[in-house]
Homo-oligomer: A and B are copies of this chain.
C-alpha cells in the first residue's frame, strides 16, 4: 500500500480511505487509486485489516466427519451463505473425538474467527470447551448435533417425531421385534431419536422398549462384528432403525454376507441423506434430513449473531422437519423367504 501511495504521491491513509470508498475522498482520486491498484494488481493484506478491525471475516465449521453425505450437504448450505456474505470458511474435523473437539475450539478464540458452527462429536459429554468460547463472546450455533442444556442457538430436525415415526412404520409393516441402533448414549440427537422410538414401542405395547436400544460404538470393524452378532443371535430383530448412515451400510453388508434377506426377514430404515438409497439392493427407506437447509439456516442465524451486536443468540431454536421416504427395505411381505 505504501508503494501505491508513493506511485500516486498520496498518503497511505488517503489510499486506504479511497479503497474503502470513504466519503472523505473525491471521486476523482478514488478512480485513480482503483485504477493503479488493479494495474499493480494490489490486494490488501487481510490480516492487517483483521488486526485493526477485530473482524476476521472468517467462520469456523466444526464437525465430526466430512465423508458423510449429511455433513457434506450441510457444508454446501453453510458455504452458500458465507460466500454471499464475503466470509471465509475454516473446516475442522473432530473425527468423533472429544479431545480433538476441545483443541479445535481452543483455536477458535483470540479473534481467529467471527463465529462458530458446530456439530458435536459423539464422545462429547462435557461442554466446558464450548462455554469457554461463548464467554469470549464468540457467536456459536449448533447444527444437527447439539449439546443439550446450554443457552446456545441451534438448528435441528424433529428427531423425536422421526424416531416415533420410524418405529410405527416398522410395526405397522409387520415387525414384532424392532431395534434401534444408536451411536452414542450421550448424543442428544441420538437420544431424541431413540426416545421417539421407545415411545412408539410403549404406545404399541411391543417388546421391551429399554432393550430395543443398542449402542454401536467403536471402529467400523467392531461395529460390523457387533451387528453380525446381533443378526445371528437367538433374539434376532426383524426390524432395524439405524441412527446414522454408516450403521445402515454395516447392516446391509452383514445381511448380504450371512444371507439375510431384506425386507423379508429384516426391515431397515436409516436416518440419512444417502443419495444412493434408491439404487441400493434393495432400495433403502430413509428418514431424510434437510441437510443443505440445516446448514444454510444455521449459517444465517450465525450471521445474525455476528452482525447485530445486540442480537441475542442464546435461546434461538429452529427445527426443520425431516421426511420419511418409504422404499423397499421396509416393505411388508406376505411370505417369509426362509
Residues of B within 8 A of A278 (CB): 253, 256
Any chain B CB within 8 A of the CB of A25? no
Which of chain B's residues have a CB closer than 8 A to the CB of A253? Answer: 278-279
Copies in the complex: 2
Q: How far is the CA of A73 from the CA of B282 in the complex (A)?
A: 26
Determine whether the beta carbon of A90 is less than 8 Å from that of B90: yes
Indicate whether A249 sits within 8 Å of B279 (C-beta atoms), given known contacts A66-B66, A90-B88, A91-B79: yes
Given contacts A93-B76, A276-B276, A280-B280, contact A56 B67 (CB under 8 A): no
User: Chain A: how many interface residues by the 8 Å CB criterion?
Assistant: 46
User: Separation in Å of the A92 CB from the closest CB of chain B?
Assistant: 8
Per-position 1/0 for A52-91, Cβ under 8 A of B: 0000101000000011110011011001000000001111
Which of the candidate stretches A40-48, A229-237, A304-312 sits at the interface with the other chain? Answer: A40-48
In angstroms, Cα B88 to Cα A150, docked, is 28
| Contact of A110 with B275 at beta-carbon distance under 8 Å, contacts A79-B93, A280-B281, A281-B281 already known | no
Confirm or deny: A98 has a beta carbon within 8 angstroms of a beta carbon on chain B.
no
Q: Does A174 sit at the interface, judged by CB under 8 A?
A: no
Assess whether A47 is in contact with B111, with CB atoms less than 8 Å apart: yes
Q: Which of B47, B89, B256, B279 contacts A90, CB < 8 Å? A: B89
User: Judging by beta carbons under 8 Å apart, are B67 and A76 in contact?
Assistant: yes
A274 within 8 A of B: yes
Q: Which residue of B lies closest to A283 (CB)?
A: B281
A-B pairs with lowest CB-CB distance, top 7: A281-B281, A67-B72, A252-B279, A47-B50, A47-B47, A276-B276, A43-B110
5 contacts between A and B (CB under 8 A): A46-B112, A66-B72, A67-B69, A253-B278, A276-B276
Give me the interface of A with B, judged by CB distance under 8 Å.
41, 43-48, 50-51, 56, 58, 66-69, 72-73, 75-76, 79, 88-93, 106-107, 109-112, 132, 249, 252-253, 256, 274-276, 278-283
